[in-house]
Structure 1
Amino acid sequence: MTREKLSQTISRELLKMIESGKYPPGSKLPTEMELAAQFGVSRIPIREALSVLRAAGVITSRQGGGSFVEERIGSSILHNLRIETDDIEWITHLFEIRKILEPEAAALAAQRRTPEHLERMRKALQWLEEEIADENKIGMEADLEFHRSMFLATQNPVMIQTLESLAPLYERTMSITLKPNVGLKSKRKSVYQEHLHIFQAIESEEPELAKVHCAIHLRNAEKKLSLYF
């Protein structure tokens, strides 16, 4: 069994324990060493499994204090971590494409953006900030508009058309990866900060930095999907 698959199995098992009430909201999880002993593995896959749960908004880490189940985690949030089997393959394929296209789009946007492109991105970012401030909103439309405005800034018509053709699948994926953040202020703030860092790199005309921040954003979004397999 590969390390990645092992960590995914552990993250799903921990999720089941949280859902069953073994680790209720606000409770502290066992230490990495204790979990490693419990699952009979090294601390590396345990660390990766906890990272997946953090990305999904299920747990939070406190410096020097270990990992805790989110106070506001509940059946509604856990339900949002469910996905139809038929969608899994399509969403996995989409992330493969996103990891190829979007970091490059961010780099091109940093090189080619005009003041008009920056203004549209800035408005999308402000919209996302407003949506995130409302804990009952997902922010999907604002999120998608930000990515659309980034692609427009590449001034590459093929890239732009590719995004538009994939828009329905983007919406489905975002609805899944963003829903667990509803009611979780820290996770919603993290999503906004990731978009802000991409925008700042594009605004500063730093293509490599824009590419890195975009890759980080996609990696964090993709981690949530590990819970569905």
Structure 2
Amino acid sequence: MLPVKTLGDEAMPMAAPPPRPRRQRGLVPEIVDTLTADVREGRLQTGDKLATESELMARFAVSRTVVREAISRLQASGQVETRHGIGTFVMAPPEQSNFRVAPEDFATVADVISLLELRISLESEAASLAAQRRDDSHLQNMAAALAAFEASIDDVSDAVPSDFQFHMEVARATGNRHFADLMTYLGTMIIPRTRLNTASSAPEGRLAYLRRVHGEHQSIYNAIRLREPEAARQAMRLHLSNSRERLRRAQPDSPA
């Protein structure tokens, strides 16, 4: 029953407070957490097909953009796999490894820079191999990740899932599963924006920052598409080195 206020001898119901708007960036983790729990608690098994986008939109009362970003995050963490034209399926959990990088290993800017140095060595070579070994399906998946990144810029998203997905597709195109396995293990933590607000704090502003990152991704993609291994290696090295230098400028005392 609503509370009542009185005006003279007349009783009038007080209006209920308007519902608090749900923020899009809070909705994505909500969907990710729910679907992850469905897998963990056995409601979804390895190989099961997820509900369609429309069904998930109805279940969570969210937009298609929110559903797609949530699925992208699940893909990036290796929990699901989307097969074009068929659907999205639950993947088997990755095998355990003695190698460990935990969230607490990304506590400072210097920690993030250290990981970027590892990525420069690893992913530059991966890009070179991808340019030699990629097939049309790899290019298709990279292009889809690029398109999702571009859409995220206009949707006021941090574009982390599509950013990670692009790097994951490059790793897969090497034809060497160890590259992709390591990327899957590290997950979206490798993207600095996951830990630091680099886009919003960039001097040129969020929009220009993300557009520059998108342009760097496109340069990598074009070199891989044209089967130019050295150009792909250099484009990836430049992209990751740029990220490192932006962080170094943000923390002058970081390692040289």
TM-score bucket of the superposed structures, by smaller chain: 0.5 to 0.7
TM-score by length of 2: 0.52
Greater relative contact order structure (CA < 8 Å, 6+ sep): 1
* Residue 120 of structure 2 is aligned to residue 114 of structure 1: no
Q: How does 1:76-115 map to 2 (within 5 A)?
A: 86-115=107-136
1:125 matched residue in structure 2: 146
Q: Highest CA radius of gyration, 1 or 2?
A: 2
Counterpart contact for 2:124–2:237, Cα < 8 Å? yes
Question: How many residues are treated as equivalent by the alignment?
Answer: 144
* Residue 163 of structure 2 is aligned to residue 143 of structure 1: yes
Counterpart contact for 1:106–1:198, Cα < 8 Å? yes
Counterpart contact for 1:132–1:192, Cα < 8 Å? no
Q: 1:159 to 1:180 in 2, by over 3 A?
A: same
State how far apart, in whole Å, the 1-side matches of 2:131 and 2:106 are.
37
1:85 deviation in Å? 8.6
1:89 deviation in Å? 4.1
State how far apart, in whole Å, the 1-side matches of 2:139 and 2:171 are.
12
Deviations 1:58-103 (Å, cap 9, x if unpaired)? xxxxxxxxxxxxxxxxxxxxxxxxxx99333431321111110011
* Residue 196 of structure 2 is aligned to residue 196 of structure 1: no
2:175 matched residue in structure 1: 155
Deviations 1:3-52 (Å, cap 9, x if unpaired)? xxxxxxxxxxxxxxxxxxxxxxxxxxxxxxxxxxxxxxxxxxxxxxxxxx
State how far apart, in whole Å, the 1-side matches of 2:219 and 2:189 are.
25
1:115 deviation in Å? 0.8
Unpaired runs of at least 5, structure 1: 1-83
Q: 1:127 to 1:206 in 2, by over 3 A?
A: same
> What secondary structure does 1:105 align onto?
helix
Counterpart contact for 2:200–2:206, Cα < 8 Å? no
User: Which protein is richer in helix relative to its size?
Assistant: 1
Q: What is the aligned-residue identity percentage?
A: 31
State how far apart, in whole Å, the 1-side matches of 2:144 and 2:206 are.
24
State how far apart, in whole Å, the 2-side matches of 1:180 and 1:106 are.
29
Q: 1:93 to 1:122 in 2, by over 3 A?
A: same
Q: Kindly report the root-mean-square deviation, in angstroms, between the aligned alpha carbons of the 2 structures.
A: 2.1
Counterpart contact for 2:128–2:230, Cα < 8 Å? yes
Q: 1:196 to 1:85 in 2, by over 3 A?
A: closer
